[in-house]
Amino acid sequence: MSRFETILYEKSADKVATITLNRPQAMNSFNGTMCSEFHALWREIADDEAVNAIVLRAAPGRAFCSGMDVKNPGNYLGSDNLWNKRDPGERLGPKNNLCWKPVITAVHGICAGGAFYWLNESDIVICSDDAQFFDPHVTYGMTAALEPIGMRWRMALPEVLRMALMGNDERVGAATALRISLVTEVVALDALWSRAHEIAATIANKPAVATQGTVRAIWESLDSTRTAGLNTALKYCLLGNDIGRKQVSREDLMKAAKPFRVR
């Protein structure tokens, strides 16, 4: 039995952890319970040396995630006190919870509204050919702000504005999502989970100090100017490259090199 109500969690020997949104009866929408469970799990994963990369996916059905559960939201803002309410993304997303392990998100079917909390903090997003992305907030008379602002670092501003303002009247299909860099790869639905795991396992096989340092340096640079980001990046390289001691043998890696994949 899972120790979580709303998600499934498992680890494999290749140092890949898999998180599955598990509310298919509610189109895998999130509620207060899911927010709390993700908040705890990201911190657990961050400290777990048996995990080097994460696959985030959702239980089979019509949707990867339809956003917030509007019928049974629970305490998704974290508090009943007006001044203590928080953006749900602060608990749902890995970066907000200082988890710097690479996250590969595999999207199928409908991916709407609050589902972008995960996409916006993922390192690699792939989708199946049936995926449809949209933000319904304005259609329902709600300001679209948190998710689109997070999207701004993944997609060009015109694409963000178009999605935010079109609401329910337009959906971004898999081919368009690839073109506008919302995803980096489109695969058949029956290959989605295995492909996500393959990417994660490839990354997890690399030195964890290098991959986590890379993730942290790049994401933290988004909050600074170019010059400040580069100055900070040098410090991260000096910390993460373990000067004076090899993490891997380049000679052995070259001898055992496998054919690389061309994307």
Q: What is the CATH number of the domain that holds 87?
A: 3.90.226.10
| 29 shares its domain with 92 | yes
One domain, residues 172 and 84: yes
Residue 87 placed within a domain: yes
Per-residue model confidence (pLDDT) at position 78: 65
**Number of domains forming the structure of the chain:** 2
129-141: pLDDT as tens digits: 999 999 999 999 9
> In whole angstroms, what is the distance from residue 13 CA to residue 201 CA?
10
Do 94 and 120 touch, CB atoms closer than 8 A? no
* 221 within 8 A of 232, measured Cβ to Cβ: yes
Give the pLDDT confidence score for residue 240 in this predicted structure. 62
> What is the pTM for the complete model shown?
0.89
| DSSP designation for 155 | S
In a domain, 105, yes or no: yes
Mind listing the pLDDT tens digit for each residue in 206-260? Answer: 999 999 999 999 999 998 898 988 888 888 887 766 654 556 666 666 666 676 6
Give the Cα separation of 60 and 238 in Å (integer).
Answer: 43
Cα separation values, 242 from 213, 215, 233, 248, Å: 11, 17, 15, 11
Domain that holds residue 226: 208-250
Give pLDDT, residue 244.
46
Residue 71 lies in a domain: yes
For helices 226-240 and 208-221, the axis angle rounded to 10 degrees is 170
Residue in the block written with tokens 């991959």: 211
